[in-house]
Structure 1
Amino acid sequence: MNHAISRRTAIATLGALGVAGAGTVLAQGSATRPVTVRLGYQKSSTLIAVLKVQGTLEKQLAPLNAMLSWHEFTSGLPLLEALNLDNLDISADVADTVPVFAQAAGADLTFVAQEAPSPAAQAIVVREDSSIRSVADLKGKKIGFAKAAGVHYLLIAALDKAGLSFKDIEPAYLTPADGRAAFEKGAIDAWVVWDPFLSAAQRQPGQSKVRVLADGTGIASYQRYYLAGSKFAKARPDVLRVVYAQLEKTGQWVKQNPKEAAVLLAPVWGLDAATIEQVNSRRSYAVRPVVAEGLAEQQRIANAFFAEKLLPRKIDALNVALFKPGA
């Protein structure tokens, strides 16, 4: 089976999501020209969700004559594909694995910001009554997870640590919602998922109780990245500076006000506040600039995917554009 990204599939996914294809017309020195900034995000994009509810970004971008349009995606891969196809300008946080796939596909993207590691915010889980007691027991088992997500690398790294390879398991590429359904029905033996879906499965009543087999601690640090199309990054660094500053500020607010943040996010995520507090306790939300020295794990991720023939070619993780928020 060819596990590498299908560009045709990704584009078809975008069409199904109804993302507008009209590119934003920008030019150097156009900072005062009216512009609509197309921002893509996922349900797990916590800081962007807070900013969206509060209307903060719209207020901060108004003096730059910039308006926001919001586009929700079910996973990070089609989100970055939309960014590369100039159907979006900015991407909310995606797992550290997703830019690796995008880079291998030739995407021209700029790294805007990075969230510090949150290894416990993703895990391999089994049903409480499962006979699977260790990662080594996953040999020959059917495992559900989202392709190219952070959990994809977590699974590869955990298998490697246990002396197994990706070929030793049966992968089932599933969105978090489909993965939860398959897990509940017993259609998969294990499920690899990230927060808030992980905490929801652990805390919300379901047919099966969840037992964590392994999280990312000591295996996969799980750093999330914010990106922009390089064309947009070069044309509107003023917009990116505002976005960066608000992400940094919001990350600090969420950690300093866990109960208030949970109440705010509850109706957005459709989860109870206690579950959201658990989610937010596992995420660092420490927004920082992306520097070359901080991309070492990106190379390890890329090498692991290439070794398993999941990437079409080798990549240099350092061969990317980095936004400097203080410039």
Structure 2
Amino acid sequence: MRGFIIRRIICICMLLRMIFNADAYAASVPAELRVDYADFNPLSLVVKKFNWLDKEFKADTVRIHWKFSPGSDVALKNLQADSLDIASSASLSSVWSRAVGGPIKVVYVFARPEWNALVVSRDSPLQSVKDLKGRKVAVALGTGPYFFLMLALKDAGMHKEDVKIIPMPHEDGRASMEQNFVDAWAGGSPYVAMSQLESGSRLIYRNALFHSYGFLNVTEAFARKYPDAVLRVVKVYENARNWAIRHPEDLEMMYGEEARVPLSVARKVLSSYDFSRPVFDRNDVRLLRSGLPVLKEEHLFPQDTDFDKVIDDLIDTRFVFKHSETGSLR
């Protein structure tokens, strides 16, 4: 009788353990994964085109919901409004979002592109940043091009008060510049390349040292609740990154189709993208931090901002490093 009771207890314990494990596994992924895609994030277009997230989470019956992000400002706004789980942005946009209280984490570097420039129309008399004094400059606030504009002005010995900033989305900024409704436009990919090739617009300022990286962001709450899901998204992005490196011509074709731009534009855009390093390292921190004091001077950040703490709290490399332990990170 005693043996029977013991066996029953063991069976019950095993059953409870199975139920507990099943519940824990079910909680390791969300019922729906809301992911953005953006023409400034070519890898997102690859992942979406090949349905790699759908395949990765198929066994878990996770629904993949895609949402277009026209810029870093919109992507991060949607992330913090809980209408996105995975969001693309420029690195300075992520730093700014974190500095003003956004509880976000960066889990992946999708590219290191030279994607920003100050642009004028083909017939514009303007030749340099100093020529912008008192002029109207279109730019999307809170985006990579906006922070690039601030750094460019500083480089020319100017401040944001020396120009008339006209806030507008990237596409509208491009159109306004080409039609001379504004004097210049601080733009990013792919719109700068499109304006150059299709309208003959000119770049009056470039600076590779002032460029943001491409970041993949999640909220702290999502990373804490669904770490396995974040790790698997990183895994899928790694597949896309390696595919992009191995198939540059196919990437150009795909980018042209998915971003709905001519092949010539796709080639020009992608020629400025570096997909070689998905890990954020100390040198990246140094370069990222170098321009932040300028942005504080322009009152874009709270004056008491501790940038070292902001960056430490923002960058979360554990998912990339954990993925690298499998030997699949190259």
Shorter chain as denominator, the TM-score bin is: 0.7 to 0.9
For 1:166-185, list aligned pairs within 5 A. Answer: 166-185=160-179
Cα distance, 1:293–1:31 mapped onto 2, change above 3 Å: farther
Q: Counting helix residues as a fraction of each chain, which structure ranks higher?
A: 2
Q: Which moved more, 1:28-37 or 1:311-320?
A: 28-37
Would the aligned equivalents of 1:39 and 1:88 in 2 still touch at CA under 8 Å? Answer: yes
Would the aligned equivalents of 1:266 and 1:273 in 2 still touch at CA under 8 Å? Answer: yes
Q: Residue in 1 aligned with 2:206?
A: 215
Would the aligned equivalents of 1:153 and 1:301 in 2 still touch at CA under 8 Å? Answer: no
Shift of 1:271: 0.8
Q: Structure 1 length normalisation: TM-score?
A: 0.82
For 1:318 and 1:31, locate their aligned partners in 2 and report how far apart those are by CA, in whole Å.
29
**In the alignment, is residue 161 of structure 1 matched against residue 152 of structure 2?**
no
**In the alignment, is residue 108 of structure 1 matched against residue 99 of structure 2?**
no
Report the number of matched residues: 295
Q: Residue in 1 aligned with 2:254?
A: 264
Would the aligned equivalents of 2:28 and 2:227 in 1 still touch at CA under 8 Å? Answer: no
Q: Which moved more, 1:280-289 or 1:137-146?
A: 280-289
Amino acid at match of 2:253: V
Q: Residue in 2 aligned with 1:57?
A: 53
Secondary structure of the residue aligned to 2:151 is helix
Amino acid at match of 2:204: L
Secondary structure of the residue aligned to 1:71 is strand
For 1:195 and 1:186, locate their aligned partners in 2 and report how far apart those are by CA, in whole Å.
20
For 1:98 and 1:154, locate their aligned partners in 2 and report how far apart those are by CA, in whole Å.
11
Amino acid at match of 2:269: V
Task: Note the alpha carbon deviations across 1:4-52, whole angstroms, 9 max, x for none.
Answer: xxxxxxxxxxxxxxxxxxxxxxx97545566211113333221111111
Amino acid at match of 1:236: Y
Shift of 1:201: 0.9
Q: Residue in 2 aligned with 1:246?
A: 236
Q: Residue in 1 aligned with 2:86?
A: 90
Shift of 1:198: 1.1
For 1:237 and 1:173, locate their aligned partners in 2 and report how far apart those are by CA, in whole Å.
37
**In the alignment, is residue 151 of structure 1 matched against residue 141 of structure 2?**
no
**In the alignment, is residue 189 of structure 1 matched against residue 183 of structure 2?**
yes
Secondary structure of the residue aligned to 2:203 is strand
Cα distance, 1:67–1:216 mapped onto 2, change above 3 Å: farther
Cα distance, 1:115–1:265 mapped onto 2, change above 3 Å: closer
For 1:283-302, list aligned pairs within 5 A. Answer: 283-291=273-281, 294-302=284-292
Shift of 1:182: 0.4
For 2:240 and 2:216, locate their aligned partners in 1 and report how far apart those are by CA, in whole Å.
14
Would the aligned equivalents of 1:112 and 1:225 in 2 still touch at CA under 8 Å? Answer: yes
For 1:148 and 1:128, locate their aligned partners in 2 and report how far apart those are by CA, in whole Å.
27
Would the aligned equivalents of 2:79 and 2:85 in 1 still touch at CA under 8 Å? Answer: yes
Shift of 1:292: 5.9
For 1:105-144, list aligned pairs within 5 A. Answer: 105-119=100-114, 121-144=115-138
Amino acid at match of 1:267: E
For 1:301 and 1:128, locate their aligned partners in 2 and report how far apart those are by CA, in whole Å.
30
**In the alignment, is residue 70 of structure 1 matched against residue 61 of structure 2?**
no
- Sequence identity (%): 22
Return 5+ residue gaps in structure 1 as ranges.
Answer: 1-26
For 2:234 and 2:220, locate their aligned partners in 1 and report how far apart those are by CA, in whole Å.
16
Cα distance, 1:164–1:233 mapped onto 2, change above 3 Å: same
Cα distance, 1:293–1:320 mapped onto 2, change above 3 Å: farther
Amino acid at match of 1:318: I
Secondary structure of the residue aligned to 2:296 is helix
